[in-house]
Structure 1
Amino acid sequence: MGHSVLGSIPFLSSKSDFQTILDSLPLNVLTCDPKTLVIDYANKASVDTLNLVRDLLPPGVNGDTIVGKCIDVFHKAPAHQRNILAKPSSFPHHAIIRLGPHMLDLHIEAIYSGKDITKLALSWSICSEREQLKIMVDNMPINIMMCDPRTLEINYINKTSLDTLRTIQHLLPVNVDDLLGTCIDVFHKTPSHQRKLLGDPKNLPYRAKISLGEEILDLNVSAIKDAGGYYIGAMASWSVITAQEALTKNVLQISGKVSDASAEVKSTAQSLSAAAEETSVQSVAVATAAEEASTNVQTVAAAAEEMTASIQEITTQINHANITSKEAVTKAEETRGVIQKLSEASQKIGNVVDMINDIAEQTNLLALNATIEAARAGDAGKGFAVVASEVKSLAAETTKATDEIQTQISSMQTVTRDAVDAIASIQETIGEISDSSAEVAAAITQQATTTEEISRNVQEAAQATREVSNNTTGIQQAASETGAAATQLLGLADNLSSKAGSMNTQIGNFMGGSEK
């Protein structure tokens, strides 16, 4: 059971002296009857403060009217407060209550007269800013703890710290809910080091990584001083960095791999650059050769087209000659028939001449017989003899003429036979020529087809060569672009290597700095 300090001051001989002292305090003070809870006194500071917040008070309640009011007017459920205040063990009682946007810090003490409580004294203040700050610190997403620099007892733990500590409760020597008021020595095997460190604010700030079971904690301790510079506490902001440490280790490993990979990329880029340069040189040579080949193929294609045209012309002429030779064969055949008929006619004429010759011989024989008979007749047969002589002379001339005709006919028959044989030979030769012309025409037609195919293939080859030339130009351009890309890649590899080294250095510095 507590007793009021004010109630034990010996020089407060009267109620007037007591109220005079309270009125002079800058602290808000109210007193009430412990049984009825009716306010029977409000010092000047309370009156002034209540008037400042009168708009937030129940109707009719303000600093000027507060005396005589029951404290029930401040509570929606006054029974709860009455139960607390009815128990002497509740004192001193502390509470933070809300009044509109404000937070009120209440301290209630019992004033005794002997063993009896004669008054309840309430000191209060508007602590909105302080509470807002406390709420902010309590709810900060950072683990905050504070201890007394002399006793090293934990006197503050924010909500985030409590929540985090509960996740590692199995590693703690004390239950989380019992940590407030516990000395930090329980966390250390050799607490003298920590006592020496935290006992002097010159040693702060201090940062360290400590192991707690399988977890790693990052601890940052700072000195908290009041407005006069007095060291009032050591504040520790801390975090569980087990995952971050593992991540940092992985990052360092990855950084090393990146550094190695950047070296490989640089080497590959150098090889690629050299290959691209060689490809560019070779592509230039190939492009030149392809251009020359394209020119040559186009020349051959033009010649093939001209040869195709010539072969087509020759084919036309040979076809014409073949037709002409066929006509000549036909005409020779007709001429042979005519000459054959002429030979037959000359044979018939020869037969007629032979017959005339026989008649002439018979006439000559008859004339001879007539001459003989005329000679026998004498003068009577002279006239007849003259006629017989004339007939004989005509028969002789006829015989001579028929002989000559016979000779001409024989000669004509010989010439006719020769002509027939010659025409037959010509016909045979023309037939052979016609057959040869037909074969040549067929061969030339085949050759023309082949030449056209060659010309088409040459044209396709020329087109392909042009495409090769164009593609080679594209390859050359691609090689140039590849070379440029390789150069850029080489630059990026150098930059990557530099940044990987820088990242290693920075991570090393970060790791080293975080251990200080």
Structure 2
Amino acid sequence: MFATLTRKAQPPATARALDALRASVMVADNDLVIRYMNHAAIKLMQEAEAELKRDLPNFSAARLIGSSIDVFHKNPGHQRGMLSALKVPHAATIRVGGRAFDLLVTPLVEQGQRTGFVVEWADARERLLNVDFAGQIAAIDRSQAVVEFGLDGTILDANANFLKALGYTIEEVRGRPHSMFVDAATRDSPDYTTFWDKLRRGEHHVGQFRRLGKAGRVVWIEGAYNPIFDASGKPCKVVKFATDISLQMRLLADLKTLIDSNFTEIDGAIAQSTAEAHSASGAADETAQSVQQVAASAEQLAASIGEIAQSMARSRSATDDAFTQTVSVADNTESLASAAQAMSSIVGLIRNVASQINLLALNATIEAARAGEAGKGFAVVASEVKNLAVQAAQATQQISREIDGIQATSATVASALGAIRDAVTTVRESVAATASAVEEQSVVTRSMSASMHNASAAVSTVSGNIAGISGAVAQAAEAVAKTREAAEVLVR
């Protein structure tokens, strides 16, 4: 009958019955033309219209009745082929525009002939979320210990991980109070009462807990007590998700024991290392000061040697000048000796001339005597000439004696100058050798000064490194103390 009636033509009772349904119902004829939609279906399409338009731009909830169901498909050929062969109800989930819908398509048959289809629509979001939640819960159930409590602390259920950690079976714990897992002191403490009061108010609690398993075995768990709320927002039960950390706690306890047992030795070693580092730092500082003083002294020595080198260079220059002057004086002395020798020859010549004059004067005297009175004036002249010759001879002898003295003095001076020249040559060679040695010493001293400065810098670096080591030892001591405190906190 749905295939032949529109929504307006439905009998009032039928329309009211369909509109009263919470399910969204859509009716299409055999040609897949939508003929009817109840209120729930219309509301669902109106709510989803904006999202459906993302994939179906021409979609309109107001124009669905009278249109083909092809409007829900980008490729309606596949859908039509499937529906044409449909003889039994078919369930499917479709996704359009970010929305997911669960569909149940049921063929309508009258007198053996299919007359249309009834399509039930349902928003699949909650179902898919529930599927996802169920998967997450299953994953949690596989990896963690899970136990459920009533608000009064009664155990409602527990999974295998929880039962294995505590060593019980489900029959041994179901219906029992949570207090079976704690010692008497904890159970009777105000903190335990406050703990459950907060859970009943809906406050969750996270932490590490010491619990008692079967036969009083201590079990450490890390987890969270989570109140679960009902539809009215009130807590209805508590679910605990936990992990067994007993092994880790035992390791931490062993660590604390190990730290406690070795802490005195570690303290002593660190104290000794600190003292030695301080001592080494002081020694390095003293060494650095000494090296700096040596470097300064070496620098002063280098400066002094530099000045000596300069003085030796000047001495060498002066010695070279003295050598040159000595050579020059020697040359002049030799020239003087040569001149004296030449003067000896001239004196000899003068002596010969004086001798000839004397001889002539003698001859003239003899001739004047022969001449008698006529030769008296000539005799006077001859006498004077003879006197002059005698005087010339005497002067010549004196000049000869002086020249001999000059020659002797020249020879002595030449000999002395030769000795001086030899001594100056020796001094010159010594000054040259000394200047070369001083220059080499100056280079070595400068290198030593540079090396001492480098050594001073290296010692300063060592001093700084030792100070860093001292600081590192202090940090290590602090870290050990913190480690001990942390171990004590973790073991509590």
User: Scaled by the length of structure 1, what TM-score is found?
Assistant: 0.48
Q: Which has the higher contact order (CA 8 A, sep 6+)?
A: 1
User: Scaled by the length of structure 2, what TM-score is found?
Assistant: 0.50
